[in-house]
Structure 1
């Protein structure tokens, strides 16, 4: 059995064929599959990450981008602490759809969720249709991190998942999130059989924010 302190649940979303599954495959297996078929429904992967003297298990759900599977995708937003929102740097229309995906994330997740906007296919720089400046400005104006990746070469792929984990740990350490509530997408691992072993016990946490009314999930 894997030994870890925390389990973080992530979801990967975005239009079809932007490279979501390839990003997941590169992160979990360091592979790239040129002939990867379009995801039908949901795929899954996990990875262990050591950070700040703690071991994190990242559980990643890769969702289909087609409209016909959106109801399935929405069900996986619930209980996620990290969201990777992917578009294709070589296809402007997938960038235009980022706003639609971002609004859906905000509607279907809790306020502690960490979102990273990812422009994929950086290896096809000569075919780029979306500038770094444009995407970065959008991300910053919407309180998201922005990274450009290549699922083919692996450039920045690890960093996407690690940056989200780092920001989640900051929220745990500064006591702004109650990590004992699984609805937030965090679970205690085998290293923490007894929650009292953790310094930030629930009694020291800030008051829980007002719950939002979720209609789509």
Structure 2
């Protein structure tokens, strides 16, 4: 049953003799929507954790990319400070249209050749879920080095029969492609894409200095980790 107020407007609901509040038809949909929102808000949140090894030659921008992503684009390092061991930070990434998020444990590893064989880097690569190989588009040497970096990280990972370690290849400093004849980039997009396909990595282009697309490779890894988790759960359920 419904009733009208003294202003002629339909009330949200009225109390009847049975002690229940009867909603006006026009408000049923709104009420149902609110109930749905309440139920959704009580769904337990899933938090996954993935370790990412970030590798590449010195000065390619590994630390700048990590800091820009971690700070939401607000902390570009003004002065270059060489990473001499391992820098570490954690950033949570929400997976759209789910109740899940992935905490990325980011290990920014030293790029100086004198540190390449140190035990610290090897420890940094243990139990890695993804690898991020970074090069500077204005340095062909850094581009040619990424295969070596990837091989080192993958060789430190025990063979589990699950295929090679997944990850991303990031072409950083793409702002250096601008400027016409004064552009400083020496590695073009097609070269980067070809190398990524050869290494079995996803390819991304970024500029830590301008903030352009810095989030994309990190969000991709978080999304892939969640997808892999979902696939594992489905396979496990199918066996039961």
If the length of structure 2 is used for normalisation, what is the TM-score?
0.70
Kept after mapping to 1: 8 A contact 2:47/2:101: yes
Kindly indicate whether residue 188 of structure 2 is the aligned counterpart of residue 131 of structure 1: yes
Residues 76-87 of structure 1 mapped to structure 2, 5 A cutoff: 76-87=124-135
The more displaced of 20-29 and 96-105 is 96-105
CA distance in 2 between counterparts of 1:205 and 1:38 reads 49
C-alpha displacement of 1:64: 0.6
Kindly indicate whether residue 93 of structure 2 is the aligned counterpart of residue 55 of structure 1: no
More RCO (CA 8 Å, sep 6+) = 1
Q: Any stretches of 5+ residues in structure 2 without a counterpart?
A: 1-44, 178-182
Q: Closer, same or farther in 2 for the Cα pair 1:205/1:108, shift >3 Å?
A: farther
Residues 26-175 of structure 1 mapped to structure 2, 5 A cutoff: 26-29=68-71, 30=73, 31-52=75-96, 53=98, 54-70=100-116, 71=118, 72-110=120-158, 111=163, 113-125=165-177, 126-175=183-232
Q: Any stretches of 5+ residues in structure 1 without a counterpart?
A: 176-199, 207-217
C-alpha displacement of 1:12: 0.6
* SS at structure 2 position matched to 1:174: helix
Kept after mapping to 1: 8 A contact 2:85/2:121: yes
Aligned-pair Cα RMSD in Å = 1.9
Alignment: residue pair count? 180
Q: Which residue of 2 aligns with 1:8?
A: 50
C-alpha displacement of 1:162: 0.7
CA distance in 1 between counterparts of 2:210 and 2:168 reads 20
**Residue deviations 1:114-163, cap 9 Å, x none?**
21001110111121110100110111122110111101111111111011
- Give the structure with higher Rg (CA): 2
